[in-house]
Structure 1
Amino acid sequence: MRRTLIAAALAALALSANAALFEDEDARRAILDLRTKQTATDDQLKAALTRQAETNEQMRRSLLDLNAQLEALRSDNARLRGEKEQLQRDVAELQRQQKDIAQGVDERMRKLEPQKVNVDGKEFMADPEETRQYDAAIKVLRSGDFAGAASALGNFVRAFPSSGYADSARFWLANAQYGKRDYKEAIAGFRSFLQAAPTHPKAPEALLAMANTQVEMKDSKAARATLNELLKTYPQSEAAVAAKDRLASLR
């Protein structure tokens, strides 16, 4: 009986030990399963992190490329702005030059275009070259260079016989010839002037000057005839007053 109890107890212990052994085996399997799952999870996580790192690297490179492109665009924009500003300056300078050229052409054209002038009460249109030569000749006359003035005025009359200045030029030419004591030429000049412009404001002066020239030539008879012509033709002129006094001195 006692042996039977002991055997039963031992059997129970054996069963208990086997049960414990089976429980430990299950635990180990569970732990191994957990470790396997953890390892798989870790591997998945590492793979995901690797992929994320690669993605981040790609994004970083893309950002770097984008920044480089943006910097290149900024540089191109700055260059284009500079070129545009330079082009605007060039265009402005070209426009200024064109304006200056146009103004210069206008000025030169105006210098070539006939201008309205008034000489000895006579208004007419004259080419700039006519005016220049006439004024130059009169300037020489006023300087007292009668020979130079006679030459300049003679050249003017020959160059511009139909000019509005022509009558006045003939009058002053005769005066220049008188000034250089070329009396015959002076008388012929005054006559030419009177024939061409009998109504000219200086016509009375021309007759008076011609009479003075004849006096210088000791031709009192011709002088008196010229003075009488002056009194008859231009009785209301100032020259007529001087002619009366001159006639009285010749008698």
Structure 2
Amino acid sequence: MTSFIRHGAVAVALAFGALISAPAQAALFDDTEARKAIIDLRTVVAQLKDKADADSKATAEQIAHLQRSLLDLNRQLEEARADNARLRGQSEQLARDVSDLQRVQKDIRQGVDDRIRKLEPQTVSVDGREFLAEPEETRLYEEAMNVLRKGSFAEAADLLSSFQRRYPASGYAPSALFWLGNAQYGKRDFKESITAFRSFVSRAPDHPRAPEALLSVANSQSDLKDTKAARRTLEELLKTYPKSEAAVAAKERLASLR
């Protein structure tokens, strides 16, 4: 548009110059022709101005359109950024929710597993022997043993007797009988002590504590002043378990009973 105006202005200037520059040729034009030339010149100038105004207006409109387009594009970009931020926030929240859900599921699963384990029989080892025992069975046995370790013989005897009645076929039963005999001996109930130890030996003659149980029977008999019975028990111990540590003590006791 600027080039067009520049070329038009040049043309007007040349025409006007031609009109006034040559006195020799001026005589060729009369007043009518001069006026006509001026009118034509003004017409050209007006056309150029109109063209320039139209081009300027079109350019302004294009610029305004571009500005509106840029503003609209900026608005869309801001909306897109806001949407992305919202989606990112939702995604992060979703990830946290999933993580929380997984943790809750893990806790629930762990809790269920723990409860199942509390109900399922577990492998335990007592006096060198392994067997399956229910959690409650183990709890009651350990409770009785803890009381016995504290020296509460009467309470321990009651707990061990109760255990025997509740779990007669338990893997703990032989050991419970042995310690029941010790608890009764501790409270100086020698007859009940002998009964418990004899039941233990009869039930588990191959138990590693069987020789010790027979020695305890002989001790109870001695405390009851039944020397003959004590001697027979010690002889039984030497005959049945000659290589046991209890047999060594039995020999010494026999020598003292003579």
Compute the TM-score of the two structures, normalised by the length of structure 2: 0.80
Number of residue equivalences: 233
Q: Decide which of 106, 128, 148 is 1:99's aligned counterpart.
A: 106
Q: Is 2:242 the partner of 1:231?
A: no
SS of residue matched to 1:123? strand
**1:108, distance to aligned residue in structure 2 (A):** 4.4
Give, in whole Å, the separation in 1 of the partners of 2:29 and 2:45.
24
Partner of 2:168: 161
Structure-1 residue corresponding to 2:196: 189
How far, CA to CA, are the matches of 2:196 and 2:179 in structure 1? 9
What secondary structure is seen at the aligned counterpart in 2 of 1:73? Answer: helix
Shift in Å at residue 22 of structure 1?
Answer: 6.5
Alignment of 1:213-232 (within 5 A): 213-232=220-239
How far is the alpha carbon of 1:140 from its aligned partner? 1.4
1:124 maps onto 2:131 in alignment: yes
Tell me the amino acid that sits aligned with residue 58 of structure 1: H
Whole-Å separation in 2 of the counterparts to 1:51 and 1:246: 131
Residue 136 (structure 1) shift? 2.4
- 2:13 aligns to what? none
Secondary structure of the structure 1 residue equivalent to 2:73: helix
* Structure 2 match to 1:173: 180
RMSD across aligned positions (CA): 2.4
Q: Per the alignment, in what secondary structure is the counterpart of residue 163 of structure 1?
A: coil
**Which of these residues, 157, 180, 203, is aligned with residue 210 of structure 2?**
203
Q: Could you tell me how far apart the structure 2 residues matched to 1:122 and 1:46 are?
A: 112
AA partner of residue 239 (structure 1):
A
The answer to whether the aligner puts 1:86 opposite 2:93 as a matched pair is yes
Aligned to 1:12: none
**1:115 equivalenced with 2:128 (yes/no):** no
CA displacement at 1:29 relative to structure 2: 0.9
Q: Gapped runs of 5+ residues in structure 2?
A: 1-25
CA distance in 2, matches of 1:237, 1:70: 93
Amino acid aligned to 1:224: R
1:104 Cα deviation from its structure 2 partner: 4.3
1:194-218 residue CA offsets vs partner (Å, 9 max, x unmatched): 2211221111211111121122222
